[in-house]
Amino acid sequence: MSGTATAATITDPQSRQWYLDAMKADEIWQSATGEGIKVAVIDSGVDPTTPSLQGQVLGGRDLTGVKGEATDDFDGHGTSMAELIAGTGKGGGLKGLAPGAKIIPFRVSDTELQNKEKVNAFDMQEAIRAAADSDAKIISVSMGSEFYSSEERDAVEYAQSKGKLLFAGVGNSAKKGNKPQYPASYPEAVAVAGSSTDGEVSDYSQHGDFVDIAAPADDIPGWCDEKFDAYCDGDGGTSAATAIASASAALIWSKHPEWTGNQVLRVMFESAGRGKDWKPGTVSNYLGHGIVRPGAHINRGLGKPGDPGVSPLTNERVGGPSGSTASPRPSAPASSPGPQDKPDFVAEAKGRDTAASAGDSSSTGLVIGGVAAVVVLGAAAAYAVARRRRSA
């Protein structure tokens, strides 16, 4: 989960959720809470018994191949992400940005579990397809791998063709090679970067022209471990940013249940927070279209939904009303102009980000990647060794 900070136990995690006040969440909740929207959380599992998640978690699936259910969280990460999305805050737990939403958990493995157990080598792609076939409108993936997989990308394309919005963290290794991370770097996924309390990109958040949008990542707590005895302080990383971006989509979609995912995402892009020096029509390699700002649309009407059948990620007709069709290999993401006013809760984008624009030259997930994301041993093709999958 963590971006960079060393975790320390805390007793009042809500006091650390600075972004809720900054986003004026109380005002947003007067108009939209995420009610009626289901969010699939593909992660380490989601424990439905924490006070903040009681009554918030629906039946899901375990895809790991390891003994347990989708509600058996093996390290606490998935439960933290679920609380950031839809937690009620009961018992002093984390408050979700979309407390009216419901969570559908899909459990997959990370590197630590892979090192301990024989796991399903294809759990991520199977989880994405299962989530696409579920009642969830939004798929939140706060995990990733450095390995491109055509099968996994096919699953992401399938989710898009079903009208789902799949958000994935870009990763926390900007200072350690900054290698593209998947599924975030697939063009059909919404790649989420992390932002700091002052509105700049988090120094660990990975960057490149695969970044689509950003959300708060610094100084966001989560459960310390699978024991669920205490919350820990620290950076939530792009994992938390992904959860918050997913919750932002849930808020907008609950406000406009008749919209398609394309329209929800387009409004997110057009209403995102940007600094005054941001050039119109450009997309940053660090913050994408800007920092999520659901209140700018819900309370102020910024952002237009546009064509329900055209993806703002690829400009291809896909995932809209009945009859829309998908291109098997869409082109690179297109720039989407939006409002240029100063963000509600962030300082002017500066330093690393002011020079970033759609013209920056970086490797894109469309062509980067080597072999498949797994190394299969023996005849049992459904099981694999570690894939170096980590929290985003």
Catalytic residues: 43, 77, 239
Other CB atoms within 10 A of residue 282 CB = 17
| Contact criterion met (CB below 8 Å) for 212 and 337 | no
**Please, what is the angle between helix 77-86 and helix 237-255, to 10°?**
30
Which DSSP string corresponds to 280-329?
A: TT--BTTTBT-B--HHHHHTT--S----TTB-TTTS-B-SSSTT----SS
Both tokens of residue 190? 């919404």
Which DSSP string corresponds to 85-154?
A: HH-B-GGG-PBPSSTT-EEEEEE---HHHHHHS-EETTHHHHHHHHHHTSS-SEEEE-EEBSS--HHHHH
Q: Phi, psi at residue 231, to the nearest 5°?
A: -90, 155
The residue behind tokens 């929290």 is 391
The whole-angstrom separation of Cα 212 and Cα 289 is: 6
**6: Cα within 13 Å, side-chain hemisphere:** 0
Other CB atoms within 10 A of residue 96 CB = 31
Q: What share of the chain is helix, strand, coil (3-state, %, to 5)?
A: 25, 15, 60
